[in-house]
């Protein structure tokens, strides 16, 4: 990663104002958003929105033409173009033809995208942003750091300084007073402006209407007071029917600011009268700027379903640490990464795409039902396809893809790591450039004897009828073999023999998450061969990331690469694959496993691993099982927020991973529970390592270890 980019991350992380403001907002947002959606079937709502926006995305040409026809029938002039330069020139031409000296603007991301303000100012026209946040950043000479709250990165003191300079009067950092100053300063600008420029939240084809959603009331003034109104609208805002406004208006304010509805929604259909009785000179610019290319891409078409609510920023554990000036260009955060890759160019997203930890929190709340993490992964894949894998990573994957070499190296590492482990199960310090990896967290010492060797020594009862293939995954195999042993004990009690095919290797997730799909496909093929070699009733894994690989991603990887010959076997494997807790829950329900009775084991708290909760939707079974075992469950704050591990993410961006971990440790300790359980050995590695460096007595355990101790014989 570029030095300069790393430096910008570092600056953001050390900006206490920024991380404080974003952190507080994201905590409140989660609660308020849930409240705003009370009584609403969010899944049904977003399915409708995705369908309506998806329809529009596949009929862009027709809807643009229909919009143009209907709006022009009502006196508007509609200009359609693919080229940002033409948008700028068109607006300048309208301004010059009408002798425009001064312009007021309401918030528009599309005009930010095409850098309209400096262009008009160069031509000698005064341009005033009127949205409070936009005005603040205009005065500061900055770009918006958030799509909905452009100035969220600034403190009231900074705003007071800016305003003081502007009005040449020393102002205190008193927010109501500052807002009043903005109102008073802006009034004459509104009243004297010759042109108003707005964006558009929706453009309705069947009526030629523009919908504007705002809170401050500035858009009402921008579209009412000046005699010329220019609306710049990206074609992704097109919807077919007037009734499509309903579902989008239901979701947009709730998802954006947790409001039931914004203070103002204006629906403008054609020319309206000015206060002197003349008719408004109304221009609507439908801007493509690569949007139709995006809509034509089978994968990225989904991104056209975005309604620009920015909820993907608000729930992102990375965004709340670094903000939009690091995580984005004009458009920020998860969706911003995707839009930057298209509206700008793929290369522009090179660094920011690496910030995504793939936790999936954004996908859960997206009202457009966009699989944002999957699209970012696709960007990563395409970048790797264009630019190749960085040399260091390439040599790692070459090793990972050769099981014998890989496993040989891990064994060697066990010996090499010994001096660092100093007889404990942890590596607390590493020398030189590796020091970051143990900053705030210890690493597990590589087991002296991997699970694949331990397994051969386990005596399983003879004559068990059912068979389960155990997919260990690298962490259980080489760092936590005791988790594998616990799993075998449990399934033996249920009358299931556990098989451990030696040919199994890395699940390919590390390669896939770094865009190296060929390597991931090689891993997938090796594993399919190994895991399907034996007849078994289940393929079970105690690592959710591995389970997701077996269950979903082998198929997706082969599909992406067009290696269709592997699909039938990949599907056969997926059908048999189940995560540990889900299978145990089933066996308990069938009466094949039971817990020792009368156990009162005290409190426990549970950390949701990203893949288990958001891809496998299996957050229920472990909680149920732990309670059945005799624990009293105390939920922690933000139980389903990522622990910062993210596979190799914590190795690539340890400076971001570390504060996410610290927050998780804090939330765990706040519950007062002496034990925290989780279903992912990766999370165990991160959180156990964190607790070790913290010197905290909280025990960090995989559910499999806990349950194995509590099963009745």
Partner 1 sequence: MYEQFKTRAEGVSAEVHRFGTSTEALAFLVNFLRDEGVADQDGQYCVVAGCPFLGAIDQTQMAAVSGVFFEVSRERAAGAKVGISQVDWALADTGTLVQDATAADKRLVSTLPFIHVALIATSGLRADMESWLADVQPDTIGYLAMITGPSRTADIERVLTIGVHGPQRLVIVFVDQLGGTN
Angle between helices 175-192 and 132-140 (to 10 degrees): 90
Q: Which stretch binds partner 1 (CB under 8 A): 268-276, 329-337, 546-554, 620-628?
A: 268-276
Distance, C-alpha 534 to centroid of its chain: 38
Per CB under 8 A, the list member of 207, 305, 505, 541 interacting with partner 1 is 207
Q: How far is the CB of 94 from partner 1 (least distance, A)?
A: 20
Asked whether position 216 contacts partner 1 by CB under 8 A, the answer is: yes
Q: Which stretch binds partner 1 (CB under 8 A): 152-160, 448-456, 503-511, 694-702?
A: 152-160
The answer to whether residue 334 forms part of the interface with partner 1 (CB under 8 A) is no
Q: How many angstroms separate the CA atoms of 310 and 600, rounded?
A: 45
Comparing CB distances to partner 1, the nearer of 69 and 449 is 69
Of 271-279, 334-342, 359-367, 622-630, which part binds partner 1 (CB under 8 A)?
271-279
Q: Distance from CA of residue 647 to its chain's centroid?
A: 16
- Bridge partners of 81, per DSSP, are 287
Q: State which H helix or E strand residue 180 sits in.
A: helix 175-192
x/- letters, 60..99, toward partner 1 (CB under 8 A): --------------x-------------------------
Q: How far is the CB of 390 from partner 1 (least distance, A)?
A: 39
Whether the CB-CB separation of 430 and 438 falls below 8 Å is answered with: yes
Taking CA atoms, 557 is separated from 334, 471, 472, 505, 515, in Å, by: 22, 19, 21, 16, 10
Residue 142 in tokens? 């900055």
Q: Which residue's CB is nearer to partner 1, number 214 or number 523?
A: 214
Q: Which residues contact 633 (CB under 8 A, 6 or more apart)?
A: 603, 604, 605, 606, 623, 626, 627
Least Cβ distance, residue 13 to partner 1 (angstroms): 20
How big is the site for partner 1, counted in residues (CB under 8 A)? 65
Q: Which of 274, 460, 560, 662 touches partner 1 (CB under 8 A)?
A: 274
What's the CA gap between 358 and 360, in Å, rounded? 5
Mark the segment that binds partner 1 (CB under 8 A) among 267-275, 356-364, 433-441, 621-629.
267-275
Length of the chain: 713
Shortest approach of partner 1 to residue 678 CB, angstroms? 32
Cβ atoms of 285 and 90 within 8 Å: the answer is yes
3-state secondary structure labels for all residues of 482-535: HHHHHHHHHHHHCCEEEECCCCCCCCCHHHHHCCCHHHHHHHHHHHHHHHHCCC
CA 707/CA 713 separation, integer angstroms: 12
Q: Which run of H or of E encompasses 469? A: strand 466-471
Q: How far apart are the first and last CA of the chain?
A: 53
The token duo for 449 is 């004897």
- Residue 176 makes contact with partner 1 by CB under 8 A: yes
DSSP 72-125: HHTT-EEEEES-HHHHHHHHHHHHHHTT--EEEE---HHHHHTTHHHHHHHTT-
Of 2-10, 151-159, 564-572, 594-602: span binding partner 1 (CB under 8 A): 151-159
Nearer to partner 1, 112 or 288 (CB): 112
Q: Least Å distance between CB 156 and partner 1?
A: 5
Closest contact distance (angstroms) between CB of 258 and partner 1 is 11
Closer CB to partner 1, residue 256 or residue 389? 256
- Interface with partner 1 in residues 183-202 (CB under 8 A): 183, 186-187, 190-191
Residue 340 as a binder of partner 1 (CB under 8 A): the answer is: no
In the window 433-492, what residues touch partner 1 (CB under 8 A)? none
- How many CB atoms are closer than 10 A to CB 534? 12
State the minimum distance, in angstroms, from the CB of residue 265 to partner 1. Answer: 4
In angstroms, give the least distance from the CB of 429 to partner 1.
40
The distance of closest approach from Cβ of residue 68 to partner 1 in the complex, given in angstroms and rounded to an integer, is 16
Closer to partner 1 by CB, 154 or 528: give it.
Answer: 154
The Cα 660–Cα 648 span in angstroms is 15
The window from 222-230, 315-323, 405-413, 637-645 that contacts partner 1 (CB under 8 A) reads: 222-230
User: Measured from the CB atom, is 176 or 431 closer to partner 1?
Assistant: 176
| Beta carbons of 495 and 467 less than 8 angstroms apart | no
| CB nearer partner 1, residue 262 or residue 281 | 262
Q: Which of 9, 53, 113, 150 binds partner 1 (CB under 8 A)?
A: 150
Taking the least distance from each CB to partner 1, the nearer of 223 and 504 is 223
Q: Does 657 bind partner 1 (CB under 8 A)?
A: no
How many Cβ atoms from other residues are within 10 Å of residue 440's Cβ? 20
In whole angstroms, give the CA distance from residue 407 to residue 505: 8
Q: Least Å distance between CB 268 and partner 1?
A: 6
State whether residue 268 is helix, strand or coil. strand
Among 143, 272, 492, 594, binds partner 1 (CB under 8 A): 272
**463 vs 304: CA distance, rounded Å:** 57
Among 44, 172, 175, 405, contact with partner 1 (rule: CB under 8 A): 175
Residue 125: CB minimum distance to partner 1, A: 21
DSSP state at residue 349: G
Q: Which stretch binds partner 1 (CB under 8 A): 212-220, 383-391, 437-445, 521-529?
A: 212-220
Minimal distance, residue 131 CB to partner 1, in Å: 7
> Which residues ranging from 25 to 54 are in contact with partner 1 (CB under 8 A)?
25, 28
By beta-carbon proximity to partner 1, the closer residue of 28 and 34 is 28
Residue 267 or 430: the one with the smaller Cβ distance to partner 1 is: 267
What CA–CA distance (Å, rounded) separates 520 from 552?
13
Joined together, the tokens standing for residue 192 give 């004297």
**Nearest distance from C-beta of residue 43 to partner 1, angstroms:** 18
Residue 218 found at the interface with partner 1 (CB under 8 A): yes
Instruction: Return the DSSP state at 672.
Output: -
Q: Is 51 left (phi over 0), alpha (psi -120 to 50) or beta?
A: alpha
Q: Pattern 227-266, binding to partner 1, x per CB under 8 A?
A: ---------------xx-xx--xx------x-xxxxxxxx
Three-class SS of 143-174: CCCCCCCCCCCCCHHHHHHHHHHHHCCCCCCC
The contact mask relative to partner 1 for 110-149 (x = CB under 8 A, - = no) is --------------------xxxx--x------------x
Return the residue of 64, 209, 609, 671 that touches partner 1, per CB under 8 A.
209
CA–CA separation, 289 vs 299, rounded Å? 18
230 contacts 91 by C-beta, under 8 angstroms: yes
Which part of the chain contacts partner 1 (CB under 8 A), choosing from 2-10, 203-211, 407-415, 539-547?
A: 203-211
Provide the phi-psi class of 515: left if phi over 0, else alpha when psi is between -120 and 50, else beta. Answer: left
CB atoms within 10 A of CB 51: 14
Residue 420 CB, nearest approach to partner 1 (Å): 45
Token pair of 578 as six digits: 């189940």
Residues binding partner 1 (CB under 8 A): 21, 24-25, 28, 74, 130-133, 136, 149-152, 154-156, 159, 175-176, 178-180, 182-183, 186-187, 190-191, 204, 207, 209, 215-218, 220-221, 223-225, 242-243, 245-246, 249-250, 257, 259-275
């Amino acid at each position: 990663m570029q030095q300069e980019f790393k430096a910008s991350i570092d600056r953001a992380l050390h900006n206490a104002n920024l991380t404080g403001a974003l952190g507080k907002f994201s905590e409140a947002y989660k609660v308020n958003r849930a409240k705003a959606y009370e009584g609403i079937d969010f899944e049904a709502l977003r399915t409708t929105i995705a369908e309506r926006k998806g329809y529009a995305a596949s009929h862009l040409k027709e809807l643009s033409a229909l919009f143009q026809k209907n709006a022009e029938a009502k006196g508007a002039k509609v200009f359609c173009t693919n080229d940002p330069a033409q948008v700028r020139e068109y607006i300048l031409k309208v301004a010059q033809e009408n002798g425009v000296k001064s312009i007021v603007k309401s918030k528009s991301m599309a005009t930010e995208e095409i850098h309209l303000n400096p262009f008009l100012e160069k031509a000698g026209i005064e341009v005033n942003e009127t949205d409070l946040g936009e005005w603040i950043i205009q005065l500061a000479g900055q770009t918006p750091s958030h799509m909905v709250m452009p100035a969220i990165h600034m403190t009231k003191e900074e705003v007071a300084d800016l305003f003081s300079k502007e009005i040449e009067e020393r102002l205190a950092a008193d927010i109501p007073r500052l807002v009043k100053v903005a109102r008073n300063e802006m009034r004459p600008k509104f009243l004297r402006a010759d042109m108003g420029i707005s964006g558009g939240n929706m453009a309705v084809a069947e009526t030629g209407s523009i919908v504007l959603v705002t809170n401050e009331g500035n858009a009402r003034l921008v579209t009412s007071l000046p005699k010329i109104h220019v609306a710049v609208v990206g074609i992704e805002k097109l919807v077919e029917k007037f009734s499509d406004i309903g579902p989008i208006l239901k979701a947009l304010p709730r998802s954006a600011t947790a409001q039931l509805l914004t203070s103002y929604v204006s629906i403008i259909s054609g020319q309206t009268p000015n206060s002197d009785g003349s008719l408004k000179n109304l221009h609507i610019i439908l801007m493509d700027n690569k949007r139709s290319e995006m809509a034509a891409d089978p994968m990225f078409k989904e991104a056209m379903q975005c309604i620009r609510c920015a909820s993907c920023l608000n729930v992102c554990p990375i965004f709340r640490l670094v903000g939009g000036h690091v995580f984005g260009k004009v458009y920020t955060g998860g969706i911003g990464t995707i839009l930057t890759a298209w509206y700008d160019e793929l290369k522009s997203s090179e660094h920011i795409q690496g910030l995504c930890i793939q936790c999936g929190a954004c996908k859960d709340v997206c009202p457009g039902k966009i699989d944002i993490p999957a699209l970012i992964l696709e960007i990563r894949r395409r970048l790797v396809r264009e630019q190749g894998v960085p040399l260091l990573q390439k040599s790692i994957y070459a090793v990972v893809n050769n099981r014998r070499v890989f496993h040989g190296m891990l064994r060697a590492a066990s010996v090499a790591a010994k001096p660092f482990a100093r007889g404990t199960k942890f590596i607390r310090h590493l020398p030189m450039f590796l020091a970051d990896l143990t900053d705030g967290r210890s690493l597990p010492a590589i087991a002296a004897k991997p699970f694949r060797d331990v397994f051969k020594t386990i005596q399983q009862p003879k004559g068990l009828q059912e068979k389960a293939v155990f997919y260990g995954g690298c962490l259980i195999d080489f760092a936590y073999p005791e988790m594998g042993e616990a799993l075998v004990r449990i399934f033996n009690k249920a009358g299931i023999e556990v098989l451990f095919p030696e040919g199994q290797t890395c699940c390919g997730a590390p390669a896939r998450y770094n865009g190296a799909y060929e390597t991931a496909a090689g891993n997938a093929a090796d594993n399919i061969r190994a895991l399907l070699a034996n007849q078994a009733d289940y393929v079970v894994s105690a690592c959710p990331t591995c389970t997701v690989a077996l269950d979903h991603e082998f198929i997706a990887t082969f599909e992406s690469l067009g290696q269709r010959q592997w699909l039938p076997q990949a599907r056969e494997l997926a059908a048999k694959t189940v995560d540990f807790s889900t299978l145990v829950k089933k066996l308990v329900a069938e009466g094949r496993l039971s817990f020792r009775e009368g156990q009162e084991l005290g409190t426990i708290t549970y950390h949701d691993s990203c893949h288990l909760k958001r891809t496998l939707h299996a957050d229920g079974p472990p909680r149920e099982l732990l309670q059945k075992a005799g624990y009293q469950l105390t939920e922690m704050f933000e139980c389903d927020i990522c622990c910062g591990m993210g596979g190799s993410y914590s190795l690539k961006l340890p400076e971001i991973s570390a504060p996410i971990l610290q927050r998780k440790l804090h939330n765990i300790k706040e519950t007062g529970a002496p034990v925290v359980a989780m279903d992912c050995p990766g999370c165990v590695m991160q959180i156990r390592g964190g607790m070790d460096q913290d010197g905290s007595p909280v025990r960090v355990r995989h559910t499999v270890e806990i349950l194995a101790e509590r099963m009745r014989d």
